[in-house]
Chains A and B, each alone.
Chain A
Amino acid sequence: MASPNDLQFQEFEEAAELLSADPEASTLSLSASDNSARAGGSEDVKLDLSEDEEGEEESSELLGGQKLSGGFWTFEYYASFFNVDTVQVLDRVKGSVLPLPGRNFIKHYLRSNPDLYGPFWICVTLVFSVAISGNLSSFISEMGDPAYHYRPQFHRVTIAAVVIFLYAWLVPIGLWGFLTWRQGTERQIGGYSFLETVCVYGYSLFIYIPTSVLWIIPFEWLRWTLILVAMVISGSVLVLTFWPVVRDDTKVMAVATVATIVVLHTLLAIGCKMYFFQTAVHAPPPPPAAPTTPAIHITLTTKPH
């Protein structure tokens, strides 16, 4: 297992060889990274060069920059996706919660070491936190109702699992496929590998876990504020990651891509809130005596003419 430092050292060597071999490519990547270099510093320039080399040489593989050990039928192939320490995972989670402009999540935190541990366990935790919090919130909102009998509503776990795992896997597949296709036709530099796309989507869902727990508090304005804050944070992680890649495309496609990302993310958040945290809209059933007494009262008043 190579440490992250070893991987970076190798990238420098091969990038230098590429520079001497093809000066055209280097000038292109330098101008593209100049804009980001002002914000990100020199390390962004070097990483852009290595990414250019990755895109050309390993375009046929799904994992750019990852050391493929063995075929997909061996255990070591999948173990290479779990090559992270506790500190690294916590660092990535922190980066998904505090998106700073100029800090591309993939470049800054993943550093060519995307993992599957984070996305998978964040999705599992989110499934259970949404289902359990939804159950708790409906219990609290209907606690005063004497006709209410508590139900565990366990089928919601299945629904939550299907929705969240579909989102966390199908949307990155679609986005990666779309970006790769545009990269092919537009000859743009920089694109993310499939694993990096899945990784950034998985980590961006982390903010919804504390949000779903806080949704138990039964105030509507608080819930909408929380969902807005979570959507802004999570969406900005995604936008900051994908904007540098899409920016070189035509204006229409760039804006459309980013808008689609944001809209899908919004739909997931609002859909989860509407389905799992249904507020009790019904009025308490009126006591049966009430409707009859006004009628009697009316007849009493109208009778004497």
Chain B
Amino acid sequence: MAAADDASRPFAGLSDVSISEDIPVEGDISVPVGSSRRDDEYSTLDEPVKETILRDLRAVGNKFIHVLYPKRSSALLRDWDLWGPLLLCVTLALLLQGGAADTDDQGGPQFAEVFVIIWFGSIIITLNSKLLGGTISFFQSLCVLGYCIMPLTVAMAVCRIVLIGGSGTVSFAVRLVVVTASFGWSTFASTAFLADSQPANRKALVVYPVFLFYFVIGWMILTFSPSQ
């Protein structure tokens, strides 16, 4: 006690305050562990596979609907995914197969050519818009450009159905109208999403490559001629 008093002399005013050694320190040290119920909300490891696949499919379908009715919404931009573009690209490339004279050089585009045009075209357009000062991110732009191919893929399916009926002038006129309408729709839909992210005095510089991209894809669809 004397040693303790000596030690506490600088704190003279506190001499009557002392911690006696026989009071046990007691208490309960326990960290409340997060309940397993909270973990279940974020962990998708235990859910059934059907649920996982359906969630992604629902997201892809949601974006398809946004392309069908293009209005200025950020859903497509915020939650980008590349499943939809991949699906559309593979479908379009497969539909463009089986054309006239596939074996020799003079035919339509090969599967790899379609793939390269779509993906490298999208990448180059995205780089172009970013270099011109756009604020959209790389994958968001790829997502938008890929999803807006959907009208052209639908047009390709319609063209193949029309070609079953014959390949005369009437069928060509019908195909021309369908492809032109879907090309306009694609360009309009993608510019509705992309135009806002560009500086105002460069909008046309960004829109023109998109126009050229969909024009080339439309050309590939229109010139598809069935093998005889």
Is B224's beta carbon under 8 Å from chain A? yes
Q: In the bound complex, what is the Cα–Cα distance between A151 and B203 (angstroms)?
A: 37
A167 within 8 A of B: no
Q: Which residues of A contact B212 (CB under 8 A)?
A: 121, 124-125, 128
Given A82-B133, A152-B100, 15 further pairs, Cβ under 8 A: A81-B131, A85-B201, A86-B203, A117-B128, A121-B208, A121-B209, A128-B212, A149-B100, A149-B228, A152-B99, A152-B107, A152-B108, A152-B224, A152-B225, A154-B220
Contact size range, A? 20 to 34
Scoring B99, B105, B131, B209 by chain A CB atoms within 10 A of each residue's CB, the highest score goes to B131
Produce 1/0 per residue, A133-156, CB < 8 A to B: 001000000000000011111110
Q: Interface code A78-118, partner B: CB below 8 Å = 1, 0 otherwise?
A: 11011011110100000000000000000000000000010
The residue in chain B whose Cβ has the minimal distance to the Cβ of A118 is B205
B contact residues around A79 at 8 Å (CB): 130-131, 133
The reply on B101 being an interface residue by CB < 8 A is yes
List of A residues within 8 angstroms of B109 by Cβ: 152, 154
Per-position contact with B for A144-172: 1 when CB-CB < 8 Å, else 0?
00000111111100000000000000000
Whether the Cβ atoms of A151 and B220 lie closer than 8 Å is no
Q: Which residues of B contact A81 (CB under 8 A)?
A: 131
What are the residues of chain B within 8 A of A132 when measuring CB–CB?
219
The one of B106, B133, B224 in contact with A155, judged by C-beta atoms closer than 8 angstroms, is B106
- Taken residue by residue from 186 to 228, chain B's Cβ proximity to chain A (1 for < 8 Å, 0 otherwise) reads as 0000000000000001111100110010011001100111001
Residues of chain A within 8 A (CB-CB) of B100 are 149-152
Least Cβ distance of B214 to chain A in Å? 12
List residues of chain A with CB within 8 A of the CB of B106.
151-153, 155
Beyond A79-B133, A128-B212, A132-B219, whether A85 also contacts B107 by CB under 8 A is no
Number of interchain pairs (Cβ within 8 Å) = 72
Asked whether, in the complex, the Cβ of B131 is within 8 Å of the Cβ of A151, the reply is: no
Sample (12) of A-B pairs whose CB atoms are under 8 Å apart: A86-B202, A86-B204, A86-B205, A117-B128, A117-B205, A149-B100, A149-B101, A150-B225, A151-B225, A152-B225, A154-B108, A155-B106
- By a CB distance below 8 angstroms, the chain B residues around A86 are 201-205
Task: Looking at the assembled complex, report how far the CB atom of B183 sits from the nearest CB atom of chain A, in whole angstroms.
Answer: 14
From A78, A85, A125, A149, give the contact of B202 (CB < 8 A).
A85
Q: A86-B201, A151-B101, A153-B106 are in contact. Are A128 and B131 (CB under 8 A)?
A: no
By secondary structure, the A interface counts as helix
A51–B101 CA distance with the chains assembled, in angstroms: 57
Instruction: Please determine whether A82 and B132 come into contact, CB atoms closer than 8 angstroms.
Output: yes
* Minimum Cβ distance to chain B for residue A82 (Å): 4
Inter-chain contacts of B113 with A (CB < 8 A): 154
- CB pair A151–B208 under 8 Å, yes or no, is no
What residues on A are CB-neighbors of B132 within 8 Å?
Answer: 82, 117
Within the assembled complex, what's the spacing in Å between the Cα atoms of A152 and B209?
Answer: 23
Closest to B219 in A: A132
A75 to B205, CA, bound (A): 19
Minimum C-beta distance from A266 to chain B (A): 27
CA distance A121 to B121 in the complex (A): 12
| Nearest CB on B from A157, distance (A) | 8
Which residues of chain A are within 8 angstroms of B215 by Cβ–Cβ distance? 128
Which residues of chain B from 91 to 138 have a CB within 8 Å of any chain A CB?
99-101, 105-110, 113, 128, 130-133
The one of A128, A151, A152 in contact with B216, judged by C-beta atoms closer than 8 angstroms, is: A128
Q: How far is it, in angstroms, between the C-alpha of A82 and the C-alpha of B202 when the chains are bound?
A: 10
Docked complex: A56-95 residues within 8 A CB-CB of B: 75, 78-79, 81-82, 84-87, 89
The smallest C-beta distance from A154 to any residue of chain B, in angstroms, reads 5
**Minimum CB–CB distance for A298 against chain B, Å:** 40
